[in-house]
Amino acid sequence: MSDICVELSGTLLNFRVGGIILSDDQILLCRLTEESWWYPPGGRIRTGESSLAAIHRELEEELEGEWVVASLKATAENFFDYRGQLCQEFCIFYEVRWLSDRNNLISKSHEVFCWFPLEALATLDIKPAFFANLLAQSNKPSCHFIHHDPNPDHRSN
């Protein structure tokens, strides 16, 4: 199976899953060591793989601990520029409940993982840009976002 990530007409098309991993009043975020911004754990969906199977696989690859996928939280269409590459990303976010001790978090990947109090999110550089709005929609069973980063090459049709 291959990651669903292809370049079409100069735009990188990407299908990914993200976990909104909560424990009490804290959320787990990660970042690549070479980047300064944080994002929800997850990764690309593979061909022939459901989004639910992908979030389980990604979290098993990245973290040691006990967790349970609770429910679908949101779907999103995200248009952005990453290092000069136009990107169109389809992402499915699942709410995940962390069952292990937060102090014993062990990463099995090249990413840095950190727990943050929910009230601290406004002070962090988090991607995708709409993520804080997604968390604010917690009273809804699920929602859908269409987000265009401010970029003249990304226009709504």
Please report whether residue 157 resides in a domain. Answer: no
Percent of the chain with pLDDT over 90: 62
Residue 120: domain span: 5-148
Question: Rounded to whole angstroms, what are the CA distances from 92 to 52, 78, 83?
Answer: 9, 11, 23
Are 59 and 93 contacting, i.e. CB atoms less than 8 angstroms apart? no
> How many domains does one find in the chain?
1
Per-residue model confidence (pLDDT) at position 68: 96
36-78 pLDDT tens trace: 999 999 999 999 999 999 999 999 999 998 999 999 999 999 9
Please report whether residue 153 resides in a domain. Answer: no
Q: Which residues pair with 71 in a beta bridge?
A: 95
Instruction: Check whether the bond before 117 is cis (ω within 30° of 0).
Output: no
1-26 pLDDT tens trace: 899 999 999 999 999 999 999 999 89
Please report whether residue 155 resides in a domain. Answer: no
HSE at residue 84, side-chain half, CA atoms within 13 A, is 0
Are 9 and 19 contacting, i.e. CB atoms less than 8 angstroms apart? no
Q: Which pLDDT band holds residue 137 (cuts at 50, 70, 90)? A: low
Look at the pTM and tell me if it is higher than 0.85: yes
Q: What is the CATH number of the domain that holds 73?
A: 3.90.79.10
Are 21 and 67 contacting, i.e. CB atoms less than 8 angstroms apart? yes
